[in-house]
Amino acid sequence: VAFSRRKFLVTGAAGAGVAAVGGAGLAAASIAGGDGDDGGDPLGADARGTVPFHGEHQAGIATEQQDRLLFASYHVTAEDRAGLAELLQDWTAAAARLTAGEDVGPPAPVPDAPATDTGEAEGLDPARLTLTFGFGPSLFDDRFGLARHRPEALADLPSFPGDELDPDHSGGDLCVQACSNDPQVAYHAIRNLTRIGRGRVLLRWTQIGFGRTSSTTSSQLTPRNLMGFKDGTNNLRAGTDQLDRSVWVPADGDPAWMRGGTYLVARRIRIFIEVWDRSPLADQEATIGRVRHTGAPLGGHAEHDPIDLDATGDDDKPVIPVDAHVRLANQDANDIFLLRRGYSFTDGIDRRTGQLDAGLFFLAFQRDPRHQFVPLQDSLARHDALNEYIQHVGSALFAIPPGVDSGTYLGQTLLDGA
Ligand code: HEM
């Protein structure tokens, strides 16, 4: 039985006969026109910040990017394919409830057993929570008999010049990307999924992202990354043909189980903040190829002005330097498009150097990394002026299976056919 966190509050208030219990949250919900608990009221559901879980594609990809991230990578310890399928069924059911703002299960009826749900999201709205699940290359070894179903596009990423990858922030059999505007809601989701997976998965690493570094819809304002620059100006936008072509595995794509799915490349990119902060503004702008304050391309005036790669200055030099990030990453010039959906992170101090361990947790969705992330990163790793200030320190790749409806589970297209 689905168990609503808010209904629990409402019932509790009525039961106790205290009109004011529930406080500001409840009052705000009724002003917004309903708490969405009676179902079928899309406005009410929206007011609570509920992103539909079911659909052709998984949510959390073309979904308008939320402000907070908790990303988790797991090692699967389930003994066989049946165990893996059961895990994915349990996770699918739990994800449907969590994204609707429900507990994974009601509090235990007996006080001497642990409660089904850990409780820290009680009374909180989902705040646009999405949970996006993926399969890493290592899932397709011989443990689950899946080797022959491994997509060719899920080829291990090559190592790129300058990579300093830490195995403690890399790889994984499974991933869950939890995005929400409320970090406690994202935390609660990963914590409970991990708990449900006990005995079948082990957490390998997690990454908290505290601020989005992209926009994924045309109505969203462009945020700034830790370098102080607007990031996401030229990102793919939801609802465009370009996104459809660049992100989703098409209806005739291979393997069949990935149709409607996509691939995720995650890179933990350290930014050497102290070095960046000591460099002159003009050098920073030449490095990115944009003006820090406005976000305009060098030579332009406004953020969304077109980038003129051919423009030259009085000195006959290109206005946008040959090694500027936006020149080398230019999607039209390269004919390589990515849906970027990354987050800023800060994880304390690097004890060896006393410098901040902070940067960009780069997340990019695409139809085939072999033709998108890999050639682009290969070029950036060799030539990008940004390399003076950044280092890739973690890396992971996942096949993101298609979305589900209420009768199916995540990964069913893979496991049923296997
Ligand atoms: C810490 C690392 C990085 C930082 C700080 C950074 C920052 C930026 C900024 C400020 C922009 C301009 C605004 C925009 O259009 O979004 C940009 C654009 C872009 N970046 Fe990055 N970026 C980083 C890494 C990467 C990586 C690893 C890739 C892909 C391999 C990448 C791909 C792109 C693309 C495709 C664009 C849009 C280019 C265009 O068509 O105008 N970036 N980045």
Interval between CA 315 and ligand 1 midpoint (Å): 27
Query: What is the tens place of the pLDDT at every residue in 21-35?
Result: 333 333 333 323 333
Ligand 1: residue whose CA is nearest its atom 28: 377
Quickly state the pLDDT bin for 106 (edges 50, 70, 90).
confident
Does any ligand 1 atom lie closer than 6 A to the CB of residue 269? yes
Per-residue pLDDT, averaged over 325-348, amounts to: 98
Could you tell me which of 268, 37, 88 has the C-alpha nearest to residue 196?
A: 88
The residue with greater pLDDT, 24 or 5, is: 5
The pLDDT, as a whole number, for residue 48 is 76
Per-residue pLDDT, averaged over 305-333, amounts to: 97
* Eight-class DSSP state of 109: S
pLDDT surpasses 60 at 310: yes
Of 160, 214, 215, 231, the residue with max ligand 1 atoms within 8 A of its CB, to mutate for a pocket test, comes to 231
Quickly state the pLDDT bin for 110 (edges 50, 70, 90).
confident
Per-residue pLDDT, averaged over 319-340, amounts to: 98
Write out the DSSP string of 173-207.
Answer: SEEEEEEESSHHHHHHHHHHHHHHTTTTEEEEEEE
Residues of 266-285 as b/e, b for ≥16 C-beta within 10 angstroms? bbbbbbbbeebeeeeeeebb
pLDDT surpasses 80 at 9: no
pLDDT surpasses 90 at 1: no
The pLDDT, as a whole number, for residue 47 is 65
Q: Are the C-beta atoms of residues 208 and 85 closer than 8 Å to each other?
A: no
- Percentage of the chain lying above the pLDDT 70 cut: 89
Interval between CA 392 and ligand 1 midpoint (Å): 14
The pLDDT, as a whole number, for residue 46 is 57
Q: Supply 210's token pair.
A: 């505290």
Per the rule left: phi > 0, alpha: psi between -120 and 50, beta: everything else, 108 is beta
pLDDT surpasses 80 at 149: yes
The pLDDT, as a whole number, for residue 6 is 52
pLDDT surpasses 80 at 287: yes
- Percentage of the chain lying above the pLDDT 90 cut: 84
What average pLDDT does the chain have?
Answer: 90
Does any ligand 1 atom lie closer than 6 A to the CB of residue 213? no
Interval between CA 132 and ligand 1 midpoint (Å): 23
Per-residue pLDDT, averaged over 5-14, amounts to: 44
Task: List Cβ neighbours of 16 (8 Å cut-off, separation of 6 or more).
Answer: none
Per-residue pLDDT, averaged over 233-248, amounts to: 97
Does any ligand 1 atom lie closer than 6 A to the CB of residue 263? no
Per-residue pLDDT, averaged over 367-375, amounts to: 98
Q: Answer whether 0.85 is exceeded by the pTM.
A: yes
Quickly state the pLDDT bin for 113 (edges 50, 70, 90).
confident
The residue with greater pLDDT, 42 or 168, is: 168
Does any ligand 1 atom lie closer than 6 A to the CB of residue 96? no
The CB-side HSE value for 102 (13 A sphere, CA atoms) comes to 18
The residue with greater pLDDT, 416 or 70, is: 70
Query: What is the tens place of the pLDDT at every residue in 61-91?
Result: 999 999 999 999 999 999 999 999 999 999 9
Ligand 1: residue whose CA is nearest its atom 29: 377
The pLDDT, as a whole number, for residue 4 is 56
The pLDDT, as a whole number, for residue 344 is 98
Does any ligand 1 atom lie closer than 6 A to the CB of residue 320? no
pLDDT surpasses 70 at 283: yes
